[in-house]
Structure 1
């Protein structure tokens, strides 16, 4: 768990896009970030053309650094490995 309060947590997340592809990112607020992806706001060109998206996986990190390191590792995974992670 994150120190002190949940708002200080960082999350790694995976979205399933409308075309079945997977998108990986990090955020401090899963609900807000999913909503932004579905509204086409705040970057993520990849998901703008693949809406709607659905949050299918998340995990907590202590800080932004550890979340970014985990994000890089997950992005290197094959689709099969990501799907196995989600189970």
Structure 2
């Protein structure tokens, strides 16, 4: 079965770019070289790959990428840092 990857890049301006690909190495080359001139990252280089995870089902990878895109910056940072305890707390809803 073909592998898929969800990845997070940290851009030179401190922002995060989230993506999904079946060829992580090739996609990183595209990001670093500005292969797609209209891509979010093209004017935010240099880029650093700060997180990736591997999936065997592309539909699950796409769903996970969409989920991560909705997260607050603090939750993304916790994921990048492997701070899974904080992920749990950041996932809780706060009610007034």
| Offset at residue 44 of structure 1 (A) | 5.8
Is residue 2:54 matched to residue 1:33?
no
Please tell me whether the aligned partners of residues 6 and 53 of structure 2 are also in contact (alpha carbons under 8 angstroms).
yes
Q: CA–CA distance in 2 between the matches of 1:42 and 1:71? A: 20
TM-score, with structure 2 as normaliser: 0.78
TM-score, with structure 1 as normaliser: 0.85
| Offset at residue 59 of structure 1 (A) | 0.5
| Offset at residue 13 of structure 1 (A) | 0.1
Q: CA–CA distance in 2 between the matches of 1:68 and 1:43? A: 23
Q: Which runs of 4+ in 1 moved over 2 A?
A: none
The size of the alignment, in residue pairs, is: 81
Q: Please give the residue correspondences for 1:2-81 in structure 2 after superposition, counting only pairs within 5 Å.
A: 3=1, 8-42=2-36, 45-81=39-75
1:38-61 deviation line (CA, Å, top 9, x unaligned): 111146621011011111100011
**Computing the radius of gyration over CA atoms, which structure comes out larger, 1 or 2?**
2
- Let me know the Cα RMSD of the aligned residues: 1.4
Q: CA–CA distance in 2 between the matches of 1:44 and 1:67? A: 23
